Amino acid sequence: MEPFKLVRAQNNASAIAASNSKETKFIAGGTNIIDLMKLYVEKPKQLVDVTSLNLKQIETQPDGSVKIGALVKNSDLAYHPVIKQKYPFLSEALLSGASAQLRNMASVGGNLLQRTRCYYFYDTAFPCNKREPGSGCPAISGYNRIHAVLGTSDKCIATSPSDMCVPMAALGAMIQVEGPAGSRKIPFADFHRLPGDTPQIDTNLKQGELITAVILPSLPFAAKSHYLKVRDRASYEFALTSAAVALDISNGKINNSRIALGGVGTKPWRSFAAEKVLNGAAANTQTYRAAAEAAMAGAKPHKYNAFKVELAKRTIVRALETVGGMV
Q: Applying CB under 8 A, which residues contact another protein? A: 1-3, 38, 40, 117, 119-120, 122-123, 125-126, 138, 141-143, 145-146, 230-238, 240, 307-308, 310-311, 314-315, 317-318
CB of 220 to another protein, least distance (A): 29
CB of 303 to another protein, least distance (A): 8
- Coil, strand or helix at 9: coil
Q: Name the residue nearer to another protein (CB basis): 142 or 196.
A: 142
Please state, in angstroms and rounded to a whole number, the distance separating the CA atoms of residues 298 and 285.
21
CB of 121 to another protein, least distance (A): 11
CA geometry: angle at 12 spanning 10 and 18, to 5°? 80
CB of 15 to another protein, least distance (A): 26
Q: Which residues pair with 175 in a beta bridge?
A: 186, 214
CB of 322 to another protein, least distance (A): 10
Q: Name the residue nearer to another protein (CB basis): 122 or 221.
A: 122
- Residue 83's H or E segment, with its range, is helix 81-86
Q: Name the residue nearer to another protein (CB basis): 125 or 327.
A: 125
CB-CB neighbours of 3 under 10 Å: 6
Bridge pairing between strands 46-49 and 24-27: parallel
Q: Name the residue nearer to another protein (CB basis): 66 or 78.
A: 78
Would you say 86 and 103 are in contact if contact means Cβ atoms under 8 Å apart? Answer: no
Q: Name the residue nearer to another protein (CB basis): 22 or 233.
A: 233
- Coil, strand or helix at 214: strand
